[in-house]
Chain A
């Protein structure tokens, strides 16, 4: 075996070992999975059901056909619940990605990071293993949320197939890859988890509210639309929504969604690796 071949192999070896460490900690504690699922379920069950927007029309004696048409024009589907349930997929991904920065802070504080840095494992592998474990966790959680949303009454589009489901996961994968890289890069030098916690608390709701996760962005004021247009969550949610629940898919918009998400993931994953070369050791 050539030296380079061996290096590449051992790099992957260490990368997978570190990823597996994080995943093991996660699946050995089912309570963690339960806690991360319970929040979107509460949102769907309480917020999704309470915001019974269709009732605005029926209670005001708008004829059912017109009411339904207004709903479809606004949300793309006849019921608000299906609309926001897809938003919850983004919600669960944003939260998982944000907290993945936390675990690198803990590794630093408890000395594990120094220990890993003293081994020949690639510096990029240390960072990307955190990203990959966040991606795996959030995609599994998103899968569970889709099933729960369906049980709670989300309507899939009539043309829905397994291919659409795979497409949805591809979009969510790219979104999570970018977001997790971003938040881990923020945490890369931090020794205080309080700081990281503050960042998460400050950003989580604004990120959701400035996207189309809960409300369509074309009804937002102009300045908010501008923010929404650079918010990756908008694109991830739109792709998922088109593929899962909308009866007609706007192909050019879908390509735009994937292009934006691909670029976003590429830029931040690369930035994460470069930062880890430079800043992981002081």
Chain B
């Protein structure tokens, strides 16, 4: 498959001190859904903003559809569609007016843009609301309108920045079915960011885990899960002052033990066979077990493994923007 996005040592330093993206290199193949996964403030949006030519990189290069983001910005702009994190549609205008505005920004003549707008509104099931002001739209409807706007120029690559931020579970699922339908209809490559793990797991062909501006791991979701190399056994004991890590780690096929209060997170090979052995060892030593669970590695575990933390909500991003987005989503 052809590589449609090529990123080489891309770096962005804000105010000469804050390195938001730190020598990132990767490539995206034509036709795949490529996901950037990471906590808020990890550098996901900054990377997207450089690729869509809104931010100038401090150093490094990238090409999108063969156009350099620095030397041929307009070439990039003409071949991509962007669905930003925020709801950018104008509240005072109708859905149709908003789509036509986007079309005008691409210089698409009216005769053509009207046809396309109707087709897209149909596809995201907003035809009935085309002439209603966006003010009256729900969060899911706004997201669909943004999607339609992002596709007006028939892009080869669609950039989705946190496409389901602030939506409830059902609306999120619905939004994804729209995105899948649009992808099939127009045969695009999708570059997306998210901090919902299950979203990345279900949708992406490949995922890059990014934190502190660096790509920590890049692979398919399945390969990432396999790379954990083992199952996770969580054991909670009654005695919280008595450390039994030593006991557990003596059991064969136990690879790693992490203690948190009276709970032990044990990485083991062949969980089903090893779990009884651990139980035996503990009970022989008079340790009372209150809780036990065995889990196959999920992306959560992968994430924890590579970033050393669970997905966190981080402050210091533009809280105002996020608040507005969330407020509109709940509308």
Contacts and interface: CB of A to CB of B under 8 A. Distances in A.
B80 A118 contact: yes
Contacts of A112: 88, 90
Residue of A112, A114, A281 ringed by the most chain B CB atoms within 10 A? A114
Contacts of B14: 282
Given A29-B92, A120-B74, A114 B107 contact: no
Given A14-B107, A110-B321, A118-B80, A282 B88 contact: no
Contacts of A11: 107
B93 A21 contact: yes
B277 interface: no
Given A118-B52, A118-B82, A21 B90 contact: yes
B86 interface: yes
A177 B184 CA distance: 48
B187 interface: no
Interface stretch (B97-105, B286-294, B302-310): B97-105
A114 B88 CA distance: 9
Question: How many of chain A's residues touch chain B, expressed as a range?
Answer: 20 to 34
A222 B286 CA distance: 98
Given A118-B77, A120-B74, A10 B85 contact: no
Interface string B47-79: 001001111100000000000000000100110
A116 B84 contact: no
Interface string A95-131: 0000000000000011110111111110000000000
B55 A281 contact: yes
B14 to A, nearest CB: 8
A24 interface: yes
B106 interface: yes
A9 B86 contact: no
B45 to A, nearest CB: 10
Contact of B321 (A25, A109, A115): A109
Contacts of B174: none
A115 B77 contact: no
B55 A119 contact: no
A255 interface: no
A25 B92 contact: yes
Nearest to A114: B54
Question: How many of chain B's residues touch chain A, expressed as a range?
Answer: 20 to 34
A118 B81 CA distance: 8
Interface string B294-331: 00000000000000000000000000110010000000
A10 B107 contact: yes
Nearest to B45: A114
Nearest to A116: B105
Contacts of B92: 24-25, 28-29
A114 B82 CA distance: 10
A49 interface: no
B293 to A, nearest CB: 42
A87 to B, nearest CB: 33
A17 B321 contact: no
Interface string A28-68: 11000000000000000000000000000000000000000
Interface of B: 14, 49, 52-56, 74, 77-78, 80, 82, 84-88, 90, 92-93, 97, 100-102, 104-107, 109, 149, 153, 320-321, 324
6 contacts: A18-B104, A109-B320, A115-B84, A115-B88, A116-B105, A118-B53
Given A25-B90, A118-B77, A120-B107, 5 more contacts: A24-B93, A114-B88, A118-B54, A120-B77, A120-B78
Closest 6 CB pairs of A and B: A10-B107, A17-B104, A111-B86, A119-B105, A120-B77, A118-B52
